[in-house]
Amino acid sequence: MTISTPYYLIDEQKLLRNLEIIKQVRELSGAKSVLALKCFSTWSVFELMKQYMDGTTSSSLFEARLGYDKFGKETHAYCVGYSDEDVAAVSQFADKIIFNSISQLDRHYEQVKSAKLGLRVNPGMSYSHFDLADPARKHSRLGVVNKTELAKQLPRVSGFLFHYNCENDDFDGFAKQLDNLGDNYGDMLKQLQWISLGGGIYFTKEGYPVEKFSKKLADFARTYDVQIYLEPGESAITGCAELVTSVVDIVHNEVDIAIVDASVEAHMLDLLIYRLAAKVDTDSASVHTYTVAGRSCLAGDVFGTFKFPSKLEIGSEVRFADAAGYTMVKKNWFNGLQMPAIVVRRLDGQLEVVRKFGYEDFVKNLS
């Protein structure tokens, strides 16, 4: 099948590898996993994912509704700041409603007190490579800090959300932090039904000690008699997708620059935000160096500098790896550039073009 570039290609076989690990953790530890839709919400692969995961978690009303409509199973609704209308809507379908602050809980409690409620806690510790993504950064607005005030809310809530990790692949560090949660919040945890440890725990990384991780979770759950939830986003979908592009021009300005029919700004925005280079699979035979750039007007729209096994020409294909997490959820119409299609390679190897975007989509995105 010939598919016009650009397009995102999701490979269900590669996705399945992560899902099997999530299933293993559930079986060994009892911890449930709910997909973090803020990272990945391409629902054309939810039929596969929901066979291995327990539901979804969200950061807004619309995400929560998407999880309920397209994934089913458990629907956890969290938002940094709910409006009255948001809470009224989400209370109609969410299994758990998690508030970011005591003031939000106070404001909406009477409206939702019959539901399972939770509070986000800021434990004052975190694991993050970037201050921008650090939930425990100075003056963070994310979660309740005051333990005395938190304890007063126990009659009104059934669980706590601790989300303090970002791409944490250090098991020993994770274990110490979990012990710290027990030491600091243990008396309160024993009065709860559930806790969520949030996302950002990279337990599907190659070589991660899954059995030790699972035992740590199981021991913690047993000690405090709570149901643990994990919120994998990138851990669920890492390594399963590519952004497939074609070279539309090659220019030279001291170095060779290949311009492709996609854009970092529009189609892999997280790379620009965190000043990261894209990933391109190369091998020892790759000797031809090119800086690969997008075709938007932004001067810094650059994917990175890579080596290729042969010289690039107009029409050459360039595939950017690991293009699922925080890509499709952040894609935008900057410059009115052609939006990549969404293509899925199903488990049987068949390619399915599940969505194409055209001029009408661009027009309807505006007013």
pLDDT of residue 216: 98
Q: What are the residue ranges spanned by the domains of the chain? A: 13-237, 241-323+331-364
Whole-number average pLDDT of the chain: 96
CATH topology of domain 241-323+331-364: Lyase, Ornithine Decarboxylase; Chain A, domain 1 (2.40.37)
**Whether residue 63 has pLDDT greater than 80:** yes
Helix (H) or strand (E) holding 110: helix 102-112
| Entry pTM | 0.94
Mean per-residue pLDDT for 127-136?
A: 86
Strands (E), the chain: 7-11, 32-36, 55-57, 74-79, 96-99, 116-120, 159-161, 194-196, 227-230, 241-253, 255-260, 288-293, 302-308, 317-321, 341-345, 351-355
Interval 177-232: pLDDT, tens: 999 999 999 999 999 999 999 999 999 999 999 999 999 999 999 999 999 999 99
**Whether residue 285 has pLDDT greater than 80:** no
Q: Would you call 252 helix, strand, or coil by DSSP?
A: strand
pLDDT of residue 249: 98
Class at the top of the CATH hierarchy for domain 13-237:
alpha beta
